[in-house]
Structure 1
Amino acid sequence: MNPLSPISVAKFGGTSVGTIHAMRQSADVIEQNPQTRLVVISACSGVTNHLVALAQGIDDPQARQDKLAAITTIHQTILTQLPDCQNTQAEVDHWHLTIAEYADTAASAPSTALTDALVACGELISTHIFTHLLNSRGVATVRADARELLRTDSQFGSAQPDPQQTKAQCQDQLLPHLATHLVVTQGFIGADAAGQTTTLGRGGSDYSAALFAEAIEAKSLAIWTDVPGIYTTDPRIASQARPIGEISFSEASEMATFGAKILHPSTLVPAVRQHIPVFVGAARAPEQGGTWIREQAHSAPLFRAVALRRNQTMVTLTSLNMFHTYGFLAKVFEILARFEISVDLITTSEVSVALTLDQTNTQGDAPQLPDAAVDELSQLCHVDVCKQLAVVALIGNAMNQTPGATASVFNALEQTKLRMICYGASNHNVCVVVDEYDATDVVQRLHADLFE
């Protein structure tokens, strides 16, 4: 049990700590919310992309040096505007040297373990700088190494956390500091049982913050980003998109799963387990409010939002042997499981199955069906793989229990070629798969018809 409750956890993304001005705005938010005792931050904006490029191996020494110089410039631009930072400068210099050593190794012998160790350096550096900034403002702050707190397996690049071990580590090493200090730690990174650095995948800082909130039994979790909450759709696609004041865990989970960039898809899992409300707001404009995500929202409209997930892969399996037989799907999923392929959407007919592949990699590439899996599936049926697709998901409530709920949806899409429709398995969504080049238009038309 946490004797310090109520306390809150706050997470700040890369743009919220990317410049000295952004860091000061984030520090203002922390000072205005005294219940915030644990702060989880990402790498400074732009750094992770450079680190990923280095981890992939850059043979040309000059190109490698250019990447290193770009990382150094981002950090030094902030450090030169901070007072009395000799000790912090020394820590940052140490990590810059470590990055250079890792980059040299990656150029000749890249590995998944090395990639995690390398990309984690962004958060390890940003937390040194942000901790110094808070202390310079008179906020008693200590820095904690997330690798000593967040326990994971050894699946480098997309490590799975161990909530029980993480809670034990946090209760032992974190709670004593929270009694007297604000604590700053890293998102996105952890360590396996052998102490090797691991990462939770791109966007995993949100997930880290939720895991820490669960571990210390926090009262709430605030995700501070660069937009003031969750919108009815991406405002860059539909200019009339509007912010949502409150949303349920179920709705938000669907939105995150189907492409809403505001949250990492796994973020809400620890929050749901511990019944922790989550707030999403903009660190640069906290006065604009944001979105509260709770177990139950006060309103449950039929249509809440439209989400878009691009770069999808659909696999269609066709065989006359499916007709009035059993066991075909079991064989298909046995093959997919053996190749560790996760299925997202699925529809079936008497002689065919269409499914989309879950996005499991962290680079945003289209999910792949390995050639060996295609070969095995081809012994059962004809296999057709189609890429350059997008999933558009309409999120809402009681959608499969409301007569006529889908009529307005399909009216809006009557001129669109629909490659797949998934409806009925969930109360909270209707999903359609469309060609990539139609996706923006589909979102705009759905939003105009249902929300504007």
Structure 2
Amino acid sequence: MSLNLPLTVAKFGGTSLKDHAAMLRCADIVLYNPSIRVVVVSASAGVTNMLVELASRETSVSQSNQLIADIRQVQYSIIEPLSDKLESRLYIDNQLDLLKDLAKEIQVQYSLKLADEILAFGERLSSYIFTKILIEQANTKSTSVKISCIDAREIIATDSRFSHARPDLQAIKANTDVKLSPHLADNLYVTQGFVGQDQFGNTTTLGRGGSDFSAALLAEAVSADTLQIWTDVAGIYSSDPRIVTNAKPIKTISFNEAAELATFGAKVLHPATLLPAIRAQIDVFVGSSQSPEAGGTKLTNQISTSGIRAIALRENQTLVTLTSPNMLLASGFLARVFAILAKYELSVDLITTSEISVALTLDNVNGSDENENILPHACIIELEDFCGVAIEKQLSLIAVIGNHTAQHDSQSTTGHLFSSLSKHKIRMICHGASKHNICFLVKQSDAKEIVASIHDQIFG
């Protein structure tokens, strides 16, 4: 490839593609920047939720038919202003006929494999429609680049862990070297986020939020200079604006801080997004497609100055306390605990230890009913074989993100942080494993109030 420009991969989220006007704004962003040669799209806002319901065991035939009709209406409304909307309608109808057959099949015998096939339709529809809009918009401008849609399943190779597939980096690189990189000098490709394919040709998905991950994987594979993440907010904020009304935009943030922020609850970025970007040292920009002129947040390898940058909240946490007198002066206790947790594919966020107990948090990512135990019964039985097990629910994790060095005194921002916590009941606190976060556990009912209180204390 001999593209005489920095190479950019741009990803647009569902809210950026919610209707025709929104897609036009995204098309203008792409066409304004000739370095953008790969575009990754999510499903239009709301469509994935409808597909999740369509792929549910509990959805009736009449409900399935209504959901498909609703999806059709969303897509039809987006293509209405297109000059060749008849051709687009035929494509949409054909895709939804296939979707209807799959919905009938999954009602007879549910499987994650079928569910992934169903969930992928949102991105397939939006990528087709956005390509049409992009071509039509390009025809009004003087651009010579050829625009086409490429199926992500030809590029994003994964294993067969349906619903949360793991990418095969070597295969993705090999596919990219043949089907993308040699053609980027003269071509602009639109493709689907979230979607992949295993070695047997089955459609897989990377998990919800995986469109960011797809874009980062492609940016790494094509050796991009920049990855742009376009969403509905102007970058990363000092806290969730829905919780903290005076949250402030962050102009620059280090990769390490952004990774902590994404991991501990910030919804602007998918936690896994940054991994390929960090590996390949790709610049990342997060901005709003609704107002690109407002700027956004740049993610950089440079270390930030000391201080607090942002406060994140992650709800639906479970605290597990394991107690055993045999732990005192004994070796191998933690190894045994984590071997069991690994066996049941349980990921631990926070951990603290004392002489005879260990406390750890588990993320209830599905936000299931409070009476449902995140720990499988068989896992509890194995743990109880050598220690007592106590489980607490309805907790939230608050993460204070920044560059927390050891040289803070009582007048520092960290000092203000602990001062602001004095009137709140803290269930657990972790600090020291990373200089980029201080985490603590609180009652879920108090969490948002505490986040707002800390933000006011730190940022004024």
Bin of the TM-score, shorter chain as denominator length = over 0.9
Contact 2:255 2:300 in 1 (8 A): yes
Matched AA of 1:336: L
Q: List per-residue Cα deviations over 1:214-234 (Å, max 9, x = no partner).
A: 000011010000000000001
Matched AA of 2:83: P
Between the aligned partners of 1:285 and 1:184, the Cα distance in structure 2 is 22
Between the aligned partners of 1:257 and 1:401, the Cα distance in structure 2 is 26
- What residue number does 1:29 align with? 29
- What residue number does 2:443 align with? 435
Between the aligned partners of 1:287 and 1:59, the Cα distance in structure 2 is 43
Contact 2:395 2:441 in 1 (8 A): yes
Contact 1:58 1:64 in 2 (8 A): no
Between the aligned partners of 2:258 and 2:386, the Cα distance in structure 1 is 38
Contact 2:88 2:129 in 1 (8 A): yes
Within a 5 Å distance, the mapping from 1:218-297 to structure 2 comes to 218-296=224-302
Matched AA of 1:440: K
Q: List per-residue Cα deviations over 1:37-92 (Å, max 9, x = no partner).
A: 11000001110000001111345222121111111110011122211133332222
Match of residue 416, structure 1, among 424, 429, 440: 424
Unaligned residue ranges in structure 1 (runs of 5+): none
Matched AA of 2:308: F
Alignment pair present for 1:116 and 2:116? yes
Between the aligned partners of 1:55 and 1:355, the Cα distance in structure 2 is 33
Alignment pair present for 1:44 and 2:49? no
Q: List per-residue Cα deviations over 1:252-275 (Å, max 9, x = no partner).
A: 000000000000000000001111
Contact 1:401 1:427 in 2 (8 A): no
Within a 5 Å distance, the mapping from 1:106-185 to structure 2 comes to 106-137=106-137, 138=139, 140-185=146-191
- What residue number does 1:331 align with? 336
Q: Does the residue aligned with 1:49 lie in a helix, a strand or coil?
A: helix
Between the aligned partners of 1:354 and 1:265, the Cα distance in structure 2 is 24
Contact 1:400 1:423 in 2 (8 A): no
TM-score of the two chains, using structure 2 as the length reference: 0.94
Between the aligned partners of 2:368 and 2:97, the Cα distance in structure 1 is 31
Between the aligned partners of 1:203 and 1:29, the Cα distance in structure 2 is 22
Match of residue 358, structure 2, among 345, 353, 358: 353
Contact 1:312 1:356 in 2 (8 A): yes
Residue 258 to residue 315, structure 1, CA distance change in 2 (3 Å):
same
Matched AA of 2:314: R
Residue 34 to residue 436, structure 1, CA distance change in 2 (3 Å):
same
Matched AA of 2:113: A
Matched AA of 1:414: S
Between the aligned partners of 1:301 and 1:286, the Cα distance in structure 2 is 29
Per-residue deviation at 1:429? 0.6
Per-residue deviation at 1:197? 0.7
Q: List per-residue Cα deviations over 1:330-371 (Å, max 9, x = no partner).
A: 111111111111111100011111001145x5x454881101
Residue 400 to residue 373, structure 1, CA distance change in 2 (3 Å):
farther
Between the aligned partners of 2:445 and 2:278, the Cα distance in structure 1 is 36
Q: Does the residue aligned with 2:175 lie in a helix, a strand or coil?
A: helix
Contact 1:92 1:128 in 2 (8 A): no
Between the aligned partners of 1:369 and 1:93, the Cα distance in structure 2 is 43
Alignment pair present for 1:204 and 2:210? yes
Between the aligned partners of 2:94 and 2:44, the Cα distance in structure 1 is 17
Q: Does the residue aligned with 2:236 lie in a helix, a strand or coil?
A: coil
> Higher mean Cα deviation, 59-68 or 250-259?
59-68
Alignment pair present for 1:79 and 2:84? no
Contact 1:190 1:198 in 2 (8 A): yes
Between the aligned partners of 1:399 and 1:147, the Cα distance in structure 2 is 44
Between the aligned partners of 2:306 and 2:33, the Cα distance in structure 1 is 31
Matched AA of 1:312: Q
- What residue number does 1:64 align with? 64
Total equivalences in the alignment: 448
Contact 1:58 1:106 in 2 (8 A): no
Matched AA of 2:40: V
Between the aligned partners of 1:384 and 1:66, the Cα distance in structure 2 is 44
Between the aligned partners of 1:233 and 1:398, the Cα distance in structure 2 is 17
Between the aligned partners of 1:440 and 1:237, the Cα distance in structure 2 is 6
Per-residue deviation at 1:410? 1.9
Contact 1:10 1:39 in 2 (8 A): yes
Q: Does the residue aligned with 1:300 lie in a helix, a strand or coil?
A: coil
Contact 1:127 1:186 in 2 (8 A): yes
Between the aligned partners of 2:91 and 2:165, the Cα distance in structure 1 is 27
Per-residue deviation at 1:198? 0.7
Between the aligned partners of 1:47 and 1:129, the Cα distance in structure 2 is 14
Q: Does the residue aligned with 1:201 lie in a helix, a strand or coil?
A: coil
Between the aligned partners of 2:406 and 2:432, the Cα distance in structure 1 is 5
Contact 1:302 1:396 in 2 (8 A): yes
Contact 2:2 2:185 in 1 (8 A): no
RMSD, aligned CA: 1.5
Contact 1:177 1:183 in 2 (8 A): no
Per-residue deviation at 1:423? 0.4
Contact 2:306 2:405 in 1 (8 A): no
Between the aligned partners of 2:41 and 2:14, the Cα distance in structure 1 is 7
> Higher mean Cα deviation, 391-400 or 40-49?
391-400
Matched AA of 2:170: Q
Q: Does the residue aligned with 2:249 lie in a helix, a strand or coil?
A: coil
Unaligned residue ranges in structure 2 (runs of 5+): none
